[in-house]
A and B are shown apart, each in its own frame.
Chain A
Amino acid sequence: MCADQIERLPTGITGFDHIANGGLPKGRTTLVSGTAGSAKTVFAAQFLAAGIKRGEPGVFVTFEETPEALRRNMLGFGWDIARWEAEGKWAFVDVSPQPEEELVELGSYDLGALLARIEHAVRSIGAIRLSMDSLGAIFTRLNDSRVVRNELLRIVSTLRRLGVTAVLTAERTQEYGEIARYGVEEFVSDDVVILRNLLEDEKRRRTVEILKFRGTSHQKGSFPFTVIPGEGIHVIPLSAIELKQRSSSVRTTSGNAELDRMCGGGFFRDSIVLVSGATGTGKTLMATTFMAAGVRQNERSLLFAFEESRDQLFRNAIGWGIDFEQMERDGLLRVICNYPEVTSLEDQLIFMKAEIDRFRPQRVAVDSLSALERVATIKGFREFVIGLTSFIKHQEMAGLYTATTPTLLGGSSITEAHISTITDSIILLRYVELFGEMRRGLTVLKMRGSSHDKDIREFTIDSRGMHIGRPFRNISGILSGQFTHIAPSEIDRLSAMFRDDEGDEPARDTAPTN
Protein backbone atom coordinates (compact mmCIF):
# COMPACT_ATOMS: atom_id res chain seq x y z
CA MET A 1 0.00 0.00 0.00
CA CYS A 2 1.33 3.41 -0.90
CA ALA A 3 1.71 6.08 1.71
CA ASP A 4 -1.27 8.31 2.28
CA GLN A 5 -0.36 11.75 0.97
CA ILE A 6 -3.42 13.54 2.25
CA GLU A 7 -3.21 14.86 5.76
CA ARG A 8 -6.07 14.01 8.10
CA LEU A 9 -7.84 15.99 10.73
CA PRO A 10 -9.13 13.64 13.43
CA THR A 11 -12.76 14.50 13.99
CA GLY A 12 -12.90 13.28 17.57
CA ILE A 13 -16.22 11.57 16.84
CA THR A 14 -15.95 8.18 18.55
CA GLY A 15 -15.29 5.44 16.05
CA PHE A 16 -15.55 7.70 13.04
CA ASP A 17 -11.84 8.35 12.76
CA HIS A 18 -11.36 4.61 12.74
CA ILE A 19 -13.51 4.09 9.67
CA ALA A 20 -12.10 7.25 8.08
CA ASN A 21 -8.56 5.89 8.50
CA GLY A 22 -7.59 8.80 10.70
CA GLY A 23 -10.06 11.58 10.10
CA LEU A 24 -11.44 13.93 7.49
CA PRO A 25 -9.08 15.11 4.74
CA LYS A 26 -7.51 18.25 6.13
CA GLY A 27 -8.30 21.60 4.53
CA ARG A 28 -11.11 20.19 2.44
CA THR A 29 -14.86 20.34 2.61
CA THR A 30 -16.71 17.10 3.25
CA LEU A 31 -20.31 16.74 2.24
CA VAL A 32 -22.39 14.98 4.91
CA SER A 33 -25.66 13.91 3.39
CA GLY A 34 -28.67 12.27 4.96
CA THR A 35 -32.44 12.18 5.18
CA ALA A 36 -34.45 14.06 7.79
CA GLY A 37 -33.59 12.80 11.26
CA SER A 38 -30.33 11.15 10.28
CA ALA A 39 -28.31 13.21 12.81
CA LYS A 40 -26.71 15.61 10.33
CA THR A 41 -26.88 18.57 12.67
CA VAL A 42 -25.46 16.50 15.52
CA PHE A 43 -22.59 15.43 13.28
CA ALA A 44 -21.92 19.03 12.26
CA ALA A 45 -22.03 20.27 15.86
CA GLN A 46 -20.01 17.37 17.22
CA PHE A 47 -17.32 17.99 14.63
CA LEU A 48 -16.85 21.44 16.14
CA ALA A 49 -17.33 20.37 19.76
CA ALA A 50 -14.72 17.64 19.42
CA GLY A 51 -12.39 20.17 17.80
CA ILE A 52 -12.77 22.59 20.68
CA LYS A 53 -11.79 19.84 23.09
CA ARG A 54 -8.60 19.49 21.08
CA GLY A 55 -8.04 23.23 21.13
CA GLU A 56 -9.31 23.94 17.63
CA PRO A 57 -11.88 26.75 17.38
CA GLY A 58 -14.81 26.34 15.03
CA VAL A 59 -17.42 28.32 13.14
CA PHE A 60 -20.98 27.08 12.78
CA VAL A 61 -22.90 28.45 9.81
CA THR A 62 -26.55 27.68 10.40
CA PHE A 63 -29.10 27.91 7.61
CA GLU A 64 -31.83 26.12 9.42
CA GLU A 65 -31.99 26.23 13.20
CA THR A 66 -31.43 29.45 15.08
CA PRO A 67 -28.34 29.74 17.27
CA GLU A 68 -30.62 29.87 20.33
CA ALA A 69 -32.20 26.54 19.39
CA LEU A 70 -28.80 24.97 18.71
CA ARG A 71 -27.35 26.17 22.02
CA ARG A 72 -30.32 24.67 23.81
CA ASN A 73 -30.52 21.39 21.86
CA MET A 74 -26.81 20.62 22.00
CA LEU A 75 -26.60 21.13 25.76
CA GLY A 76 -28.04 17.62 26.09
CA PHE A 77 -24.82 16.26 24.59
CA GLY A 78 -22.80 18.16 27.15
CA TRP A 79 -21.69 20.83 24.68
CA ASP A 80 -21.89 24.23 26.32
CA ILE A 81 -21.88 26.34 23.18
CA ALA A 82 -22.69 29.59 24.99
CA ARG A 83 -19.58 29.22 27.15
CA TRP A 84 -17.42 28.36 24.14
CA GLU A 85 -18.76 31.45 22.38
CA ALA A 86 -17.80 33.58 25.38
CA GLU A 87 -14.35 32.00 25.34
CA GLY A 88 -13.95 32.78 21.64
CA LYS A 89 -13.77 29.12 20.60
CA TRP A 90 -17.10 28.90 18.82
CA ALA A 91 -18.74 31.44 16.54
CA PHE A 92 -22.10 31.35 14.85
CA VAL A 93 -22.87 32.75 11.45
CA ASP A 94 -26.61 32.98 11.68
CA VAL A 95 -28.30 32.55 8.33
CA SER A 96 -31.42 30.99 9.79
CA PRO A 97 -34.73 32.30 8.48
CA GLN A 98 -35.91 35.44 10.27
CA PRO A 99 -39.68 35.21 10.51
CA GLU A 100 -40.18 38.96 10.96
CA GLU A 101 -38.11 39.80 7.92
CA GLU A 102 -39.78 40.30 4.60
CA LEU A 103 -37.57 39.36 1.72
CA VAL A 104 -38.13 40.66 -1.77
CA GLU A 105 -35.78 39.46 -4.46
CA LEU A 106 -35.11 42.02 -7.12
CA GLY A 107 -32.54 42.13 -9.86
CA SER A 108 -29.27 40.27 -9.75
CA TYR A 109 -27.43 39.53 -6.53
CA ASP A 110 -24.79 37.30 -5.04
CA LEU A 111 -24.04 35.99 -1.57
CA GLY A 112 -21.08 38.26 -1.06
CA ALA A 113 -22.34 39.26 2.38
CA LEU A 114 -22.52 35.66 3.54
CA LEU A 115 -19.03 35.01 2.24
CA ALA A 116 -17.71 38.10 4.02
CA ARG A 117 -19.40 37.06 7.26
CA ILE A 118 -17.99 33.55 7.10
CA GLU A 119 -14.52 34.83 6.36
CA HIS A 120 -14.80 37.37 9.15
CA ALA A 121 -15.95 34.73 11.66
CA VAL A 122 -13.15 32.35 10.67
CA ARG A 123 -10.51 35.05 11.01
CA SER A 124 -11.82 36.53 14.24
CA ILE A 125 -11.57 33.29 16.24
CA GLY A 126 -8.83 31.65 14.16
CA ALA A 127 -11.09 28.77 13.22
CA ILE A 128 -9.63 25.42 12.19
CA ARG A 129 -13.01 23.81 11.62
CA LEU A 130 -16.27 24.93 10.10
CA SER A 131 -19.70 23.39 9.80
CA MET A 132 -22.51 24.47 7.50
CA ASP A 133 -25.94 23.09 8.30
CA SER A 134 -27.84 22.55 6.11
CA LEU A 135 -27.76 23.41 2.46
CA GLY A 136 -31.35 22.58 1.61
CA ALA A 137 -32.64 25.43 3.74
CA ILE A 138 -30.88 28.08 1.69
CA PHE A 139 -31.99 26.61 -1.61
CA THR A 140 -35.60 26.80 -0.53
CA ARG A 141 -35.25 30.41 0.62
CA LEU A 142 -33.74 31.90 -2.48
CA ASN A 143 -35.41 31.47 -5.81
CA ASP A 144 -32.36 31.43 -7.98
CA SER A 145 -30.70 28.12 -7.19
CA ARG A 146 -28.12 28.73 -9.90
CA VAL A 147 -26.83 31.74 -7.99
CA VAL A 148 -26.84 29.77 -4.72
CA ARG A 149 -24.86 26.97 -6.31
CA ASN A 150 -22.28 29.32 -7.76
CA GLU A 151 -21.95 31.15 -4.49
CA LEU A 152 -21.52 27.96 -2.50
CA LEU A 153 -18.73 27.00 -4.83
CA ARG A 154 -17.17 30.37 -4.05
CA ILE A 155 -17.58 29.74 -0.30
CA VAL A 156 -16.03 26.28 -0.54
CA SER A 157 -13.03 27.61 -2.44
CA THR A 158 -12.64 30.43 0.08
CA LEU A 159 -12.64 27.87 2.89
CA ARG A 160 -9.93 25.97 1.10
CA ARG A 161 -7.90 29.15 0.77
CA LEU A 162 -8.34 29.80 4.49
CA GLY A 163 -7.14 26.27 5.28
CA VAL A 164 -10.32 25.39 7.12
CA THR A 165 -11.55 21.81 7.30
CA ALA A 166 -15.27 21.95 6.78
CA VAL A 167 -18.37 19.80 7.03
CA LEU A 168 -21.29 20.68 4.82
CA THR A 169 -24.58 18.94 5.45
CA ALA A 170 -27.22 18.35 2.82
CA GLU A 171 -30.60 16.65 2.60
CA ARG A 172 -31.44 13.58 0.68
CA THR A 173 -34.94 12.48 -0.10
CA GLN A 174 -34.32 8.74 -0.01
CA GLU A 175 -31.98 6.46 1.91
CA TYR A 176 -30.74 5.02 -1.34
CA GLY A 177 -30.60 7.14 -4.43
CA GLU A 178 -29.02 10.42 -5.42
CA ILE A 179 -26.48 11.74 -2.97
CA ALA A 180 -28.21 14.99 -2.17
CA ARG A 181 -30.85 17.36 -3.45
CA TYR A 182 -30.07 20.31 -5.70
CA GLY A 183 -27.04 18.53 -7.13
CA VAL A 184 -24.73 19.97 -4.48
CA GLU A 185 -22.38 17.01 -4.72
CA GLU A 186 -21.35 18.38 -8.09
CA PHE A 187 -19.30 21.14 -6.56
CA VAL A 188 -18.21 19.67 -3.22
CA SER A 189 -17.70 16.15 -4.36
CA ASP A 190 -14.21 15.38 -3.11
CA ASP A 191 -15.39 13.77 0.07
CA VAL A 192 -18.84 12.43 0.75
CA VAL A 193 -20.19 10.88 3.96
CA ILE A 194 -23.70 9.47 4.09
CA LEU A 195 -25.77 9.12 7.24
CA ARG A 196 -28.72 6.75 7.13
CA ASN A 197 -31.64 6.17 9.41
CA LEU A 198 -33.14 2.94 8.15
CA LEU A 199 -36.31 1.22 9.13
CA GLU A 200 -35.79 -2.54 9.03
CA ASP A 201 -38.36 -4.92 10.47
CA GLU A 202 -39.87 -1.95 12.32
CA LYS A 203 -36.55 -1.32 14.02
CA ARG A 204 -34.55 1.84 13.48
CA ARG A 205 -30.96 1.42 12.59
CA ARG A 206 -28.54 4.24 12.00
CA THR A 207 -25.57 3.74 9.77
CA VAL A 208 -22.76 5.91 8.47
CA GLU A 209 -20.94 5.30 5.25
CA ILE A 210 -17.97 7.06 3.74
CA LEU A 211 -18.87 7.12 0.08
CA LYS A 212 -15.63 8.65 -1.09
CA PHE A 213 -12.51 10.44 0.00
CA ARG A 214 -10.89 11.57 -3.18
CA GLY A 215 -7.32 10.40 -3.48
CA THR A 216 -7.17 8.67 -0.16
CA SER A 217 -8.31 5.59 1.69
CA HIS A 218 -11.15 4.84 4.05
CA GLN A 219 -13.08 1.83 5.31
CA LYS A 220 -15.75 0.66 2.88
CA GLY A 221 -19.34 -0.12 3.63
CA SER A 222 -21.76 1.18 6.21
CA PHE A 223 -21.22 1.05 9.93
CA PRO A 224 -23.83 1.25 12.64
CA PHE A 225 -23.85 4.25 14.90
CA THR A 226 -25.96 5.58 17.66
CA VAL A 227 -26.62 9.00 19.17
CA ILE A 228 -26.30 8.96 22.91
CA PRO A 229 -26.95 11.71 25.45
CA GLY A 230 -23.82 13.24 26.88
CA GLU A 231 -21.67 12.07 24.02
CA GLY A 232 -23.31 12.48 20.62
CA ILE A 233 -22.56 10.25 17.68
CA HIS A 234 -20.83 7.01 18.51
CA VAL A 235 -19.79 4.92 15.52
CA ILE A 236 -19.27 1.20 16.02
CA PRO A 237 -16.48 0.32 13.63
CA LEU A 238 -17.12 -3.36 13.14
CA SER A 239 -15.21 -4.41 10.10
CA ALA A 240 -12.42 -2.18 11.30
CA ILE A 241 -11.89 -4.44 14.26
CA GLU A 242 -8.50 -5.99 14.04
CA LEU A 243 -7.95 -9.62 14.76
CA LYS A 244 -4.85 -9.07 16.76
CA GLN A 245 -5.78 -9.93 20.30
CA ARG A 246 -3.19 -11.96 22.06
CA SER A 247 -4.01 -15.51 22.84
CA SER A 248 -2.99 -17.12 26.06
CA SER A 249 -2.75 -20.75 26.93
CA VAL A 250 -3.53 -20.07 30.57
CA ARG A 251 -6.53 -22.07 31.68
CA THR A 252 -9.16 -20.93 34.06
CA THR A 253 -11.85 -22.93 35.76
CA SER A 254 -15.45 -23.07 34.62
CA GLY A 255 -16.54 -23.70 38.18
CA ASN A 256 -17.18 -27.36 37.53
CA ALA A 257 -14.21 -29.71 37.91
CA GLU A 258 -15.65 -32.35 35.63
CA LEU A 259 -16.42 -29.84 32.90
CA ASP A 260 -12.88 -28.49 33.19
CA ARG A 261 -11.62 -32.00 32.64
CA MET A 262 -13.86 -32.41 29.60
CA CYS A 263 -12.44 -29.18 28.16
CA GLY A 264 -8.93 -30.45 28.58
CA GLY A 265 -8.16 -28.51 31.74
CA GLY A 266 -10.58 -25.60 31.84
CA PHE A 267 -11.49 -22.66 29.61
CA PHE A 268 -8.74 -20.53 28.13
CA ARG A 269 -8.39 -17.28 30.00
CA ASP A 270 -9.16 -15.09 27.00
CA SER A 271 -11.66 -17.18 25.15
CA ILE A 272 -15.37 -16.93 24.60
CA VAL A 273 -17.52 -19.93 25.43
CA LEU A 274 -21.02 -20.35 24.06
CA VAL A 275 -23.39 -22.46 26.11
CA SER A 276 -26.39 -23.49 24.08
CA GLY A 277 -29.44 -25.33 25.28
CA ALA A 278 -33.20 -25.43 25.51
CA THR A 279 -35.00 -23.66 28.28
CA GLY A 280 -34.35 -25.25 31.68
CA THR A 281 -31.28 -27.23 30.70
CA GLY A 282 -29.03 -25.34 33.11
CA LYS A 283 -27.58 -22.43 31.14
CA THR A 284 -28.15 -19.86 33.85
CA LEU A 285 -26.68 -22.31 36.34
CA MET A 286 -23.58 -22.59 34.22
CA ALA A 287 -23.25 -18.81 34.01
CA THR A 288 -23.79 -18.56 37.75
CA THR A 289 -21.14 -21.19 38.55
CA PHE A 290 -18.76 -19.52 36.12
CA MET A 291 -19.19 -16.22 37.96
CA ALA A 292 -18.87 -17.79 41.39
CA ALA A 293 -15.71 -19.65 40.39
CA GLY A 294 -14.17 -16.34 39.35
CA VAL A 295 -15.04 -14.69 42.63
CA ARG A 296 -13.64 -17.63 44.54
CA GLN A 297 -10.29 -17.10 42.82
CA ASN A 298 -10.46 -13.41 43.68
CA GLU A 299 -11.26 -12.43 40.12
CA ARG A 300 -13.67 -9.64 39.34
CA SER A 301 -16.72 -11.04 37.59
CA LEU A 302 -19.45 -9.24 35.69
CA LEU A 303 -22.80 -10.78 34.79
CA PHE A 304 -25.20 -9.24 32.30
CA ALA A 305 -28.61 -10.80 32.70
CA PHE A 306 -31.33 -10.12 30.16
CA GLU A 307 -33.87 -12.73 31.08
CA GLU A 308 -34.19 -12.79 34.82
CA SER A 309 -34.48 -10.10 37.45
CA ARG A 310 -31.85 -9.61 40.14
CA ASP A 311 -34.10 -11.15 42.77
CA GLN A 312 -34.69 -14.26 40.69
CA LEU A 313 -31.02 -14.66 39.90
CA PHE A 314 -29.93 -14.19 43.49
CA ARG A 315 -32.56 -16.58 44.74
CA ASN A 316 -31.56 -19.22 42.19
CA ALA A 317 -27.91 -18.78 43.11
CA ILE A 318 -28.72 -19.28 46.79
CA GLY A 319 -30.51 -22.45 45.73
CA TRP A 320 -27.19 -23.71 44.37
CA GLY A 321 -25.28 -22.57 47.43
CA ILE A 322 -23.86 -19.39 45.91
CA ASP A 323 -24.28 -16.09 47.73
CA PHE A 324 -24.25 -13.40 45.04
CA GLU A 325 -25.22 -10.72 47.51
CA GLN A 326 -22.14 -11.29 49.64
CA MET A 327 -19.96 -11.39 46.52
CA GLU A 328 -21.33 -8.05 45.37
CA ARG A 329 -20.70 -6.57 48.81
CA ASP A 330 -17.11 -7.77 48.58
CA GLY A 331 -16.85 -5.84 45.32
CA LEU A 332 -15.82 -8.86 43.26
CA LEU A 333 -19.13 -9.40 41.50
CA ARG A 334 -21.41 -7.10 39.63
CA VAL A 335 -24.76 -8.21 38.31
CA ILE A 336 -26.51 -5.98 35.78
CA CYS A 337 -30.07 -6.86 34.86
CA ASN A 338 -32.15 -5.12 32.27
CA TYR A 339 -34.69 -5.88 29.65
CA PRO A 340 -33.29 -5.94 26.13
CA GLU A 341 -36.31 -3.97 24.97
CA VAL A 342 -35.34 -0.82 26.88
CA THR A 343 -32.80 0.25 24.32
CA SER A 344 -31.44 -0.47 20.88
CA LEU A 345 -28.71 -3.04 20.48
CA GLU A 346 -26.18 -0.39 19.48
CA ASP A 347 -26.84 1.51 22.69
CA GLN A 348 -26.77 -1.74 24.62
CA LEU A 349 -23.31 -2.50 23.26
CA ILE A 350 -21.99 0.90 24.23
CA PHE A 351 -23.55 0.58 27.66
CA MET A 352 -22.01 -2.87 28.17
CA LYS A 353 -18.60 -1.68 27.02
CA ALA A 354 -18.80 1.22 29.44
CA GLU A 355 -19.72 -1.11 32.30
CA ILE A 356 -16.85 -3.45 31.43
CA ASP A 357 -14.48 -0.49 31.28
CA ARG A 358 -15.67 0.73 34.65
CA PHE A 359 -15.63 -2.60 36.49
CA ARG A 360 -12.56 -4.07 34.75
CA PRO A 361 -13.61 -7.68 35.27
CA GLN A 362 -11.56 -10.78 34.54
CA ARG A 363 -14.64 -12.68 33.49
CA VAL A 364 -17.87 -11.68 31.84
CA ALA A 365 -21.05 -13.66 31.33
CA VAL A 366 -24.06 -12.77 29.19
CA ASP A 367 -27.30 -14.59 29.94
CA SER A 368 -28.69 -14.83 27.36
CA LEU A 369 -27.82 -13.64 23.91
CA SER A 370 -31.06 -14.98 22.56
CA ALA A 371 -32.96 -12.41 24.58
CA LEU A 372 -31.03 -9.69 22.79
CA GLU A 373 -31.76 -11.24 19.45
CA ARG A 374 -35.41 -10.28 19.89
CA VAL A 375 -34.76 -6.58 19.62
CA ALA A 376 -32.61 -6.42 16.53
CA THR A 377 -32.39 -7.40 12.93
CA ILE A 378 -30.22 -10.39 12.14
CA LYS A 379 -27.50 -8.13 10.77
CA GLY A 380 -27.70 -5.83 13.77
CA PHE A 381 -27.48 -8.78 16.13
CA ARG A 382 -24.49 -10.23 14.39
CA GLU A 383 -22.72 -6.90 14.51
CA PHE A 384 -23.50 -6.67 18.19
CA VAL A 385 -22.02 -10.08 18.96
CA ILE A 386 -18.91 -9.39 16.91
CA GLY A 387 -18.48 -6.01 18.57
CA LEU A 388 -18.89 -7.39 22.07
CA THR A 389 -16.72 -10.44 21.45
CA SER A 390 -13.83 -8.51 20.03
CA PHE A 391 -14.07 -6.01 22.86
CA ILE A 392 -14.00 -8.75 25.49
CA LYS A 393 -11.10 -10.48 23.78
CA HIS A 394 -9.08 -7.31 23.60
CA GLN A 395 -9.43 -6.93 27.34
CA GLU A 396 -8.15 -10.49 27.77
CA MET A 397 -11.12 -11.62 29.74
CA ALA A 398 -12.86 -14.95 29.81
CA GLY A 399 -16.36 -14.69 28.43
CA LEU A 400 -19.37 -16.96 28.60
CA TYR A 401 -22.51 -16.44 26.52
CA THR A 402 -25.64 -18.47 26.78
CA ALA A 403 -28.04 -19.08 23.90
CA THR A 404 -31.48 -20.63 24.00
CA THR A 405 -32.55 -23.17 21.43
CA PRO A 406 -36.14 -22.83 20.28
CA THR A 407 -37.00 -26.50 20.48
CA LEU A 408 -36.79 -28.73 23.51
CA LEU A 409 -35.12 -31.60 21.76
CA GLY A 410 -32.19 -31.23 19.43
CA GLY A 411 -32.12 -28.37 16.96
CA SER A 412 -30.00 -25.27 16.83
CA SER A 413 -30.90 -21.64 17.28
CA ILE A 414 -30.49 -18.67 15.01
CA THR A 415 -28.17 -17.30 17.65
CA GLU A 416 -25.85 -20.26 17.26
CA ALA A 417 -25.90 -20.16 13.50
CA HIS A 418 -24.74 -16.56 13.58
CA ILE A 419 -22.15 -16.63 16.27
CA SER A 420 -20.80 -20.13 16.45
CA THR A 421 -17.80 -19.20 14.33
CA ILE A 422 -17.02 -16.23 16.53
CA THR A 423 -16.85 -18.08 19.81
CA ASP A 424 -13.89 -20.24 20.73
CA SER A 425 -15.73 -23.04 22.47
CA ILE A 426 -19.24 -24.39 22.28
CA ILE A 427 -20.93 -26.43 24.97
CA LEU A 428 -24.27 -27.98 24.16
CA LEU A 429 -26.85 -28.80 26.83
CA ARG A 430 -29.61 -31.07 25.58
CA TYR A 431 -32.62 -32.91 26.89
CA VAL A 432 -32.43 -36.64 26.38
CA GLU A 433 -35.58 -38.71 26.45
CA LEU A 434 -34.72 -42.07 28.00
CA PHE A 435 -37.46 -44.65 28.38
CA GLY A 436 -40.14 -42.14 29.30
CA GLU A 437 -37.87 -39.94 31.37
CA MET A 438 -36.26 -36.58 30.61
CA ARG A 439 -32.56 -36.56 31.35
CA ARG A 440 -30.00 -33.94 30.53
CA GLY A 441 -26.93 -34.35 28.38
CA LEU A 442 -23.88 -32.19 27.91
CA THR A 443 -21.18 -32.21 25.30
CA VAL A 444 -18.23 -30.06 24.40
CA LEU A 445 -18.72 -29.50 20.69
CA LYS A 446 -15.70 -27.39 20.01
CA MET A 447 -12.70 -26.22 21.98
CA ARG A 448 -10.41 -24.07 19.92
CA GLY A 449 -6.74 -24.83 20.51
CA SER A 450 -7.21 -27.86 22.71
CA SER A 451 -8.36 -31.42 22.70
CA HIS A 452 -11.54 -32.19 24.56
CA ASP A 453 -13.86 -34.95 25.60
CA LYS A 454 -16.11 -36.00 22.70
CA ASP A 455 -18.68 -37.86 24.78
CA ILE A 456 -22.22 -36.80 25.37
CA ARG A 457 -22.42 -37.04 29.11
CA GLU A 458 -25.39 -37.16 31.35
CA PHE A 459 -25.66 -34.53 34.05
CA THR A 460 -27.94 -33.78 36.93
CA ILE A 461 -28.72 -30.57 38.80
CA ASP A 462 -29.27 -30.48 42.53
CA SER A 463 -28.86 -28.02 45.38
CA ARG A 464 -25.10 -28.07 44.99
CA GLY A 465 -25.13 -27.32 41.29
CA MET A 466 -24.35 -29.38 38.25
CA HIS A 467 -22.97 -32.90 38.38
CA ILE A 468 -21.61 -34.42 35.22
CA GLY A 469 -21.86 -38.17 35.11
CA ARG A 470 -21.20 -40.94 32.63
CA PRO A 471 -21.58 -40.79 28.88
CA PHE A 472 -24.80 -41.93 27.30
CA ARG A 473 -23.74 -45.25 25.85
CA ASN A 474 -26.85 -46.92 24.65
CA ILE A 475 -28.55 -44.06 22.87
CA SER A 476 -27.80 -42.15 19.71
CA GLY A 477 -29.37 -39.20 17.91
CA ILE A 478 -29.28 -36.90 20.95
CA LEU A 479 -28.20 -33.82 19.03
CA SER A 480 -30.82 -34.29 16.35
CA GLY A 481 -33.50 -35.01 18.94
CA GLN A 482 -34.39 -38.31 17.30
CA PHE A 483 -33.27 -40.93 19.75
CA THR A 484 -32.41 -44.47 18.90
CA HIS A 485 -31.73 -46.94 21.64
CA ILE A 486 -29.01 -49.45 21.03
CA ALA A 487 -28.71 -52.80 22.72
CA PRO A 488 -25.60 -53.16 24.98
CA SER A 489 -24.23 -56.05 22.91
CA GLU A 490 -24.24 -53.87 19.81
CA ILE A 491 -22.31 -51.12 21.63
CA ASP A 492 -19.62 -53.56 22.68
CA ARG A 493 -19.27 -54.78 19.14
CA LEU A 494 -19.02 -51.23 17.73
CA SER A 495 -16.47 -50.03 20.27
CA ALA A 496 -14.38 -53.11 19.62
CA MET A 497 -14.32 -52.18 15.93
CA PHE A 498 -12.92 -48.73 16.59
CA ARG A 499 -10.60 -49.60 19.40
CA ASP A 500 -7.14 -48.07 19.13
CA ASP A 501 -4.03 -50.15 18.93
CA GLU A 502 -3.18 -49.38 22.52
CA GLY A 503 -6.48 -50.87 23.35
CA ASP A 504 -7.23 -48.77 26.39
CA GLU A 505 -8.67 -45.70 24.73
CA PRO A 506 -11.96 -46.29 22.95
CA ALA A 507 -12.20 -44.10 19.84
CA ARG A 508 -12.34 -40.60 21.24
CA ASP A 509 -10.60 -38.19 19.00
CA THR A 510 -11.69 -39.72 15.75
CA ALA A 511 -15.41 -39.83 15.35
CA PRO A 512 -16.51 -43.01 13.63
CA THR A 513 -17.95 -42.37 10.20
CA ASN A 514 -19.83 -44.77 7.90
Chain B
Amino acid sequence: MSKIVLHLYIAGQTPRAERAISTLRRMIEQELAGYECELTIIDVLADPQQAENQKILATPTLIKSSPPP
Protein backbone atom coordinates (compact mmCIF):
# COMPACT_ATOMS: atom_id res chain seq x y z
CA MET B 1 0.00 0.00 0.00
CA SER B 2 1.53 3.26 -1.14
CA LYS B 3 1.66 6.31 1.00
CA ILE B 4 -1.06 8.95 0.62
CA VAL B 5 0.47 12.39 0.06
CA LEU B 6 -1.81 15.35 0.61
CA HIS B 7 -1.12 19.05 0.13
CA LEU B 8 -3.46 21.59 1.59
CA TYR B 9 -3.18 25.15 0.34
CA ILE B 10 -4.51 27.91 2.55
CA ALA B 11 -4.36 31.69 2.39
CA GLY B 12 -3.40 32.82 5.85
CA GLN B 13 -4.71 31.56 9.18
CA THR B 14 -8.34 32.33 8.49
CA PRO B 15 -11.27 30.60 10.24
CA ARG B 16 -11.96 28.91 6.92
CA ALA B 17 -8.42 27.55 6.81
CA GLU B 18 -8.58 26.40 10.43
CA ARG B 19 -11.78 24.56 9.72
CA ALA B 20 -10.31 22.86 6.65
CA ILE B 21 -7.24 21.77 8.61
CA SER B 22 -9.24 20.32 11.50
CA THR B 23 -11.65 18.52 9.14
CA LEU B 24 -8.71 17.04 7.28
CA ARG B 25 -6.89 15.96 10.47
CA ARG B 26 -10.07 14.23 11.71
CA MET B 27 -10.49 12.43 8.40
CA ILE B 28 -6.93 11.19 8.43
CA GLU B 29 -7.20 9.97 12.01
CA GLN B 30 -10.59 8.30 11.73
CA GLU B 31 -11.24 7.25 8.14
CA LEU B 32 -7.73 6.80 6.84
CA ALA B 33 -6.38 5.29 10.05
CA GLY B 34 -5.15 2.19 8.29
CA TYR B 35 -3.13 4.11 5.69
CA GLU B 36 0.19 5.86 5.86
CA CYS B 37 -0.59 9.54 5.38
CA GLU B 38 1.52 12.62 4.83
CA LEU B 39 -0.13 16.02 5.04
CA THR B 40 1.67 19.23 4.13
CA ILE B 41 0.04 22.58 4.73
CA ILE B 42 1.17 25.40 2.44
CA ASP B 43 0.27 28.98 3.15
CA VAL B 44 0.10 30.76 -0.21
CA LEU B 45 0.67 34.11 1.43
CA ALA B 46 4.03 32.87 2.70
CA ASP B 47 4.92 30.84 -0.38
CA PRO B 48 3.13 32.21 -3.44
CA GLN B 49 5.66 30.66 -5.82
CA GLN B 50 4.54 27.21 -4.71
CA ALA B 51 0.95 28.17 -5.49
CA GLU B 52 2.05 29.45 -8.88
CA ASN B 53 3.87 26.20 -9.68
CA GLN B 54 0.85 24.14 -8.74
CA LYS B 55 -1.53 26.64 -10.42
CA ILE B 56 -3.70 26.91 -7.34
CA LEU B 57 -6.74 29.08 -7.85
CA ALA B 58 -8.96 28.87 -4.80
CA THR B 59 -8.22 28.41 -1.14
CA PRO B 60 -8.49 26.17 0.69
CA THR B 61 -7.47 23.61 -1.94
CA LEU B 62 -6.58 20.02 -1.16
CA ILE B 63 -4.40 18.17 -3.65
CA LYS B 64 -3.79 14.44 -3.49
CA SER B 65 -0.35 14.10 -5.08
CA SER B 66 -0.19 10.32 -4.78
CA PRO B 67 -1.33 7.68 -5.36
CA PRO B 68 -2.89 8.45 -8.74
CA PRO B 69 -6.64 7.90 -8.81
B44 at the binding interface (Cβ < 8 Å): yes
B44 with A113: CB separation less than 8 A: yes
A114 with B52: CB separation less than 8 A: no
CA distance A116 to B59 in the complex (A): 10
Residue of B nearest to A92 (CB): B52
Contact A116:B58 (CB < 8 A) given known A109-B16, A121-B52: no
Q: Which residues does chain B contribute within 8 Å of A120, judged by CB atoms?
A: 48-49, 51-52
B3 at the binding interface (Cβ < 8 Å): no
Q: How far is the CB of B25 from chain A (nearest CB, A)?
A: 15
Residue of B nearest to A118 (CB): B48
Residues 117-156 of A, flagged 1 when their CB comes within 8 A of B and 0 if not, give 1011100000000000000000000100000000000000
CA distance A112 to B10 in the complex (A): 8
B59 with A117: CB separation less than 8 A: no
B55 with A98: CB separation less than 8 A: yes
A116 with B57: CB separation less than 8 A: no
Q: How far is the CB of B50 from chain A (nearest CB, A)?
A: 10
A112 with B59: CB separation less than 8 A: yes
CA distance A94 to B57 in the complex (A): 9
Residues 90-111 of A, flagged 1 when their CB comes within 8 A of B and 0 if not, give 0001110010011000011111
CA distance A131 to B42 in the complex (A): 27
8 Å CB interface, B1-37 against A: 9-12, 14, 16, 20
A337 at the binding interface (Cβ < 8 Å): no
Residue total for A at the interface (Cβ-Cβ under 8 A) = 21
Q: How far is the CB of B46 from chain A (nearest CB, A)?
A: 9
A227 at the binding interface (Cβ < 8 Å): no
Residue of B nearest to A120 (CB): B48
Return the contact of B61 from the options A98, A113, A142 (Cβ within 8 A): A113
Return the contact of B57 from the options A102, A114, A121 (Cβ within 8 A): A114
B51 with A109: CB separation less than 8 A: no
Return the contact of A109 from the options B48, B49, B58 (Cβ within 8 A): B58
CA distance A110 to B20 in the complex (A): 13
B55 with A116: CB separation less than 8 A: no
Can you spell out 30 A-B residue pairs with CB atoms less than 8 angstroms apart? A93-B52, A94-B55, A98-B55, A102-B69, A108-B16, A109-B16, A109-B58, A109-B59, A109-B61, A110-B11, A111-B57, A111-B58, A112-B10, A112-B45, A112-B59, A113-B9, A113-B11, A113-B51, A113-B56, A113-B58, A113-B59, A113-B61, A114-B57, A114-B58, A115-B11, A116-B11, A116-B44, A117-B44, A117-B51, A120-B52
Ranked 9 nearest A-B pairs via Cβ = A112-B11, A120-B48, A112-B59, A113-B56, A116-B44, A109-B58, A116-B48, A113-B59, A113-B44
Q: Measuring CB to CB, which residues of chain B are less than 8 angstroms from any residue of chain A?
A: 9-12, 14, 16, 20, 44-45, 48-49, 51-52, 55-61, 69
Additional A-B contact list (7), CB under 8 Å, known A95-B57, A112-B58: A94-B55, A95-B55, A109-B16, A110-B58, A112-B44, A113-B56, A120-B51
